[in-house]
Amino acid sequence: MIKIYKQVEKLEYLSNYSNYGFYINGIYYETVEHYYQSEIKIINNVPSKRSAIIRKRVNNIEIKDIKSQKEYIIYKGILEKFRQNKEILYKLIETRNQSIENNLEKKIYGSLLQKVRLKLKKEILNNILTESKNTEVYIIGHSTPDADSIFSSYVLSRILKKLGIKAHFCILENHYDYCFNDIKLINDFLLEKPEIITDVNDKKFILVDHNDNNLLKHENIIGAIDHHIIIGKIKNILEIEYASTGLLIYDLFKEMHKFDQKEKKLIALTVLADTDYLCSSRFTLEDKKIYDELNLDLNEKELQKKYFLINDFNKTIEHNLKTNYKYYNYNGVEIKRAMISSYRKEYEQYFDKYKQFINMQNDLWLLIWCDYETKRTKVLFKKQEVEFDYLLSSTSLILKYLIEKNLF
Ligand SMILES: [Mn+2]
């Protein structure tokens, strides 16, 4: 549910007063409200006797009464506003299936916005499908592909083939070794090996699980289906923050494609792999609803034990601090960030040893310790310890928290 009163500024773009101009029949309108007022003027000026007939002609559709006619004008304005302003279109689509409340003071028409959202989402998908039908299309995930990239591009290639499109499941030759964390999962479950592509110049691509690819020419990219932030300037992007790209693909295609058990299983595995086996906050309630629709009988805990890599505590502390390490220059402060993954037992056994080690270092370290059994996070920074009763693996969120609490 999008609560308009609480976040008016962020939602300003939904309002019919917001400044996102568009053209209809060659005339430019600054806002939906401008369009509405000018259309209403035309309607009101029509002589009353013949008005009904002419009113129909004005909008070129069968409209029964003034009220629905007004609503249609607003709908058309909203539709064109979003169709012609991609940055807010993507923002609207990003709201997934949340219901949008009316706020007529702000001129926000929830149900019409929902209608526009669905229509334009389908339009982007149709653009991708139509362009794909005219050519052969190559589906690729990001470089160093993880399980989500590989399984999603494989499943998408199967869907497109069923729709009569010549689709190839592939990876590029360079930078395309499987991501280390997911190699075992991919090798155990992938049903078909990807084609390896060397020459990219004469081929058309659909990007999966990313929306920017500097190895390909822009004009060769038909579209992208992704769940990361939009950075690419690709024309047909469907970017929505689902738990995994696989789950997004399932949701987009479930009405036009009958997913078989194998495909459903791969979709579920993309969710597991991208959410630390359903542990991370990336797995939202809405994701869970869709995930449950897959109706599979998977033992997620077993899969986690088998495929989710925690740190190997036989290795030295120095070694483990480097396995998931990032250097940050945060507002001029140099920080070495290490992330450790474990279950409860290892946390209890080793955390104090790591703490001692880090407290003896001269450099500034930020240690983030995720316990995937109890789903807790322990943070060590400047000899201060902070504990979260959920998994928090985002360094920037943690730094923000430390600053807020004057612990930075
Ligand atoms: Mn992903």
Q: Order across the sheet with 333-342: list the strands.
A: 325-330, 333-342, 365-371, 376-381, 384-388
**306 alpha carbon to ligand 1 midpoint, in Å?**
20
Give pLDDT, residue 1: 56
Give pLDDT, residue 69: 84
Kindly report, residue by residue over 137-170, the tens digit of the pLDDT.
Answer: 999 998 889 999 999 999 999 999 999 999 999 9
Give pLDDT, residue 7: 46
d(CA 185, CA 18): 47
**92 alpha carbon to ligand 1 midpoint, in Å?**
21
**382 alpha carbon to ligand 1 midpoint, in Å?**
33
**291 alpha carbon to ligand 1 midpoint, in Å?**
15
**149 alpha carbon to ligand 1 midpoint, in Å?**
6
Give pLDDT, residue 209: 93
**12 alpha carbon to ligand 1 midpoint, in Å?**
30
Give pLDDT, residue 6: 44
Q: Produce one character per residue of 218-254: b if its CB has 16 or more CB atoms within 10 Å, e if not.
A: eeebbbbbbbeebebebbbbbbbbbbbbbbbbbbbbe
Q: Annotate 198-244 with DSSP letters as a single string.
A: ---TT-EEEEES-S--TTS-GGGEEEEEESS---S--SSEEE---S-
Is this model's pTM higher than 0.75 or not? yes
**148 alpha carbon to ligand 1 midpoint, in Å?**
5
**329 alpha carbon to ligand 1 midpoint, in Å?**
26
Give pLDDT, residue 296: 95
The parts of the chain modelled with pLDDT lower than 50 are 4-8, 49
Give pLDDT, residue 298: 93
**284 alpha carbon to ligand 1 midpoint, in Å?**
15
**137 alpha carbon to ligand 1 midpoint, in Å?**
21
Q: Catalogue all structural domains in the chain, each as residue range(s) with its CATH number.
A: 12-118 (1.10.357.40), 135-304 (3.90.1640.10), 317-404 (3.10.310.20)
